[in-house]
Structure 1
């Protein structure tokens, strides 16, 4: 009986810790997203809306600002998820045909290093995220404290996403491994059988690079993009204006 009680207590404590951590991360995401929206969104702003869990809070705050402050904004999504968020929050949906130049783009990141180089694409939307970011005057990143690193790979262990043409994924795997080392894994879908397919009908290779190697990420990115069949990488270099990290203590750390 005592052993069963101890086991149940152990399960409870484990579940509580996981729940507490999730709540802490969600709060960190929320405070970062709210501060970014409050500081950057003004009337008559064209906004790129990124993808991911932190952007959900940014869109919620944006909808509040539009309703409470009577702001006029248009929103360009980076993914199906972002499009649905815009519609569900009753914001004006636009696209790059109508708004080829954006005032800002608000997006999340899987990791941010000391130079504001980003790893993005954990959710599979890297190509459209980078296109929208490239059309924005300012790219604003919102994230929780677990995404803040001195160098890439310190926190995020899933590698750099690389979007590729399906027919070429095996040759590309071999070429990148030969050029830069590390391991490349074809990202598999979670529910459906087979590979993860992007909104653009492509595959994603996750490059688990050698953490002990010092990379010139700008050079690496250029060389990756020269490989036939590589569509885009999850490396965002020299694109970010400012990063907001929600911290454990409820404060927001800013990286300029």
Structure 2
């Protein structure tokens, strides 16, 4: 690990390193998308190369698929793998019940499909992602391009009367053009500020014509691994109600991680 990483990147790395403890030979593993998940893919690639780890990865984006191939992980599509032992992914926010907001990287649709096709979902994150109530991070909603402005209006109208503090939504952009997901869709980012009932909101949003999926992951995550810049890691398991604390010691090897950035 590079010694000049920022504290947040160090925390992400330590969370990813601890999460590899869940991965065993022969597993079919869902590989998340984003800067934290990229640390995990790199760590698993190191284990494949140095320790002979034998796994199959199912990536949640083209970006993750490319990285997994680069580090030597065998990948399959979800249709080929069919059912997974485990998915490990990051999150933009998580609350005390391990409900999540995901989709900051634009891969929420594949991420949710892969996570729900897994026996377990583990989230890796730094401590800044924990919130008392979801909603400070804008909620991504994937919509088809056709009639997206109509869909945007419908979504904003549906928010009236729901337990949220804001109703403004914006089309995610990539420079001067709309951001396009791997499935060719657009993303609306909902600035809700506070989500009082995540399950209700998720169900309501998915009723709007044109909405493909939303970034609320409710009752999907089984455990969260929280990393800190000093090597401390905390594991919270929602199923058995336990919290474990440990510390990761790093032995410098090849600088395998130096090319990961935000």
**TM > 0.5 between the two?**
yes
Change (3 A) 1:30 1:71: same
The correspondence for 1:76, drawn from 58, 70, 90, is 58
CA distance in 1, matches of 2:69, 2:28: 16
- Name stretches of at least 5 consecutive residues in structure 1 with no aligned partner: 1-19
CA–CA distance in 2 between the matches of 1:61 and 1:30?
Answer: 9
Query: Looking at both structures, which has the greater relative contact order when contacts are Cα pairs under 8 Å and sequence separation is at least 6?
Result: 2
Q: Which residue of 2 aligns with 1:250?
A: 231
Aligned to 1:169: 148
Aligned counterpart, 1:188: 173
SS in 1 for 2:45: helix
Instruction: Tell me by how many angstroms 1:49 deviates.
Output: 0.6
The 3-state SS of whatever aligns with 2:212 is strand
Q: Quote the offset at 1:30 in angstroms.
A: 0.3
- How high is the TM-score relative to the length of structure 2? 0.83
Where does residue 33 of structure 2 map in the other structure? 51
Give the paired residue count: 229
Correspondence list, 1:69-218, <5 A: 69-154=51-136, 156=137, 159-181=138-160, 182-190=167-175, 193-211=176-194, 215-218=196-199
Q: RMSD of the TM alignment (CA)?
A: 1.6
Q: Which structure's residues are more often helix, by fraction?
A: 1
Q: Does 1:222 align with 2:203?
A: yes
In structure 2, how many angstroms separate the alpha carbons of the residues matched to 1:173 and 1:63?
41
**1:66 Cα deviation after fit:** 1.9
Kept in 1, the 8 Å contact 2:143–2:188? The answer is yes
Separation in 2 of the partners of 1:92 and 1:71? Answer: 11
Please list the CA deviations of residues 116-147 of structure 1 after superposition, one character each: whole Å capped at 9, or x if unmatched.
Answer: 11111001000011111111111111111111
Q: Distance in 2 between matches of 1:134 and 1:172?
A: 26
Q: Offset at 1:253?
A: 2.0
- In the superposition, the TM-score normalised over structure 1's length comes to 0.85
